[in-house]
């Protein structure tokens, strides 16, 4: 298992913000201590403006480089956030390279990206790493790219960027109602599967099974996975009931499709996040 990280991603924080350094620090600690899974550590790939502007407006790229204050109530103007967000993109690009080389992978970096739209940072996200990776693959002769997003929140930013992008499909399973309120319906190449708050994990699995069937039917040459771990029963931000084992299950379902697969950390805010990531990696391995 290749895990991509860069410990500089621990160097930004705001008091009481759920998207905090311990998410990655704790996961790094567990992954280094555990002995069940052999891990090869990798670094993020290089990122250029040309890669970013496939997904984002130039004005947005400039704003992240020189913020004019907080992006929204959830998305502060952290010092050096441009460099942090670019390393998260680099993690997604490295995951893509590993996927194409047939190597199981996971990008363990922050900030997350799936709420960042073409022209806006929001919901803890600045650049949309997964959409950038998907469009990069498309630009380099991958015919069909799917983004599969199992974060508990709808990946509105990824949908915004990939909507009607040729050769792509966006498939998301998320809670509704919940932040950011989008993703109630499917349209064009965007396929949204919702679960109500307080659904049992069996309902989540049944809904995920439908989402996986849509993914299989699209028959992608590459799957980019927005792996968020906030549908977990003890996550503070939403009201789903997933158990640790459900993350091994979803990983196994994805692996069973036998497609190159790039995996990127999105959300996940419970103190059990390290165990959830390990459970997912075991399912991929």
Residues interacting with Zn ion, by CB under 5 A? 151, 153, 228, 230, 267
Inter-residue contact 4 to 108 (CB < 8 Å): yes
Query: Shortest gap between Cβ of 264 and Zn ion (angstroms)?
Result: 13
Beta carbon nearer to Zn ion, 111 or 267: 267
Inter-residue contact 10 to 260 (CB < 8 Å): no
Nearby residues of 256 by Cβ (< 8 Å), 6 or more positions away = none
Query: Shortest gap between Cβ of 111 and Zn ion (angstroms)?
Result: 12
> Catalytic: 191?
no
Query: Shortest gap between Cβ of 157 and Zn ion (angstroms)?
Result: 12
Catalytic pick from 115, 153, 154, 191? Answer: 115
Beta carbon nearer to Zn ion, 51 or 269: 269
Query: Shortest gap between Cβ of 170 and Zn ion (angstroms)?
Result: 15
Print burial letters for 122-148: b (CB count within 10 Å at least 16), e (below 16).
bbbbbbbbbbbbbbbbbeeebebbbbb
Beta carbon nearer to Zn ion, 2 or 153: 153
For residue 134, give both structure tokens. 């998907």
**CA atoms of 89 and 101, how far apart (whole Å):** 19
Assign 51 to helix, strand or coil: helix
Beta carbon nearer to Zn ion, 90 or 112: 112
Shortest Cβ contact with Zn ion: which residue? 267
Query: Shortest gap between Cβ of 181 and Zn ion (angstroms)?
Result: 13
Beta carbon nearer to Zn ion, 6 or 230: 230
Nearby residues of 98 by Cβ (< 8 Å), 6 or more positions away = 2, 4, 42, 104, 105, 262
Determine how many CB atoms are found less than 10 A away from the CB of residue 48. Answer: 9
Beta carbon nearer to Zn ion, 90 or 183: 183
Nearby residues of 117 by Cβ (< 8 Å), 6 or more positions away = 128, 156, 157, 160, 161
**CA atoms of 231 and 174, how far apart (whole Å):** 8
Element (H, E) at 169: strand 168-175
- Catalytic positions, please? 115
């Amino acid at each position: 298992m290749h895990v991509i990280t860069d410990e500089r991603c621990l160097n930004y924080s705001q008091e009481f913000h759920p998207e905090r350094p311990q998410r990655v620090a704790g996961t790094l600690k567990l992954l280094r201590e555990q002995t069940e899974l052999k891990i090869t550590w990798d670094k993020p790939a290089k990122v250029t403006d040309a890669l970013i502007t496939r997904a984002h407006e130039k004005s947005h790229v400039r704003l992240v480089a020189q913020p004019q204050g907080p992006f929204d109530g959830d998305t502060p103007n952290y010092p050096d956030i441009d460099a942090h967000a670019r390393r998260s993109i680099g993690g997604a690009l490295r995951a893509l390279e590993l996927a194409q080389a047939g190597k199981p992978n996971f990008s363990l970096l922050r900030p997350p990206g799936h709420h960042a739209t073409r022209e806006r940072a929001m919901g803890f996200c600045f650049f949309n790493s997964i959409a950038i990776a998907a469009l990069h693959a498309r630009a380099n002769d991958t015919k069909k790219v799917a983004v599969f997003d199992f974060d508990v929140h709808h990946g509105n930013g990824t949908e915004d960027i990939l909507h009607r992008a040729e050769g792509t499909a966006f498939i998301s399973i998320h809670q509704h109602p919940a932040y950011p309120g989008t993703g109630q319906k499917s349209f064009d190449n965007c396929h949204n599967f919702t679960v109500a708050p307080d659904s049992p994990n069996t309902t989540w699995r049944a809904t995920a099974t439908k989402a996986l069937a849509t993914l299989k039917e699209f028959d992608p040459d590459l799957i980019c996975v927005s792996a968020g771990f906030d549908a977990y029963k003890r996550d503070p931000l939403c009201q789903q009931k997933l158990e640790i084992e459900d993350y091994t299950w979803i990983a196994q379902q994805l692996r069973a499709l036998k497609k190159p697969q790039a995996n990127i950390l999105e959300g996940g805010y419970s103190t059990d996040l390290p165990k959830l990531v390990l459970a997912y990696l075991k399912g991929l391995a």
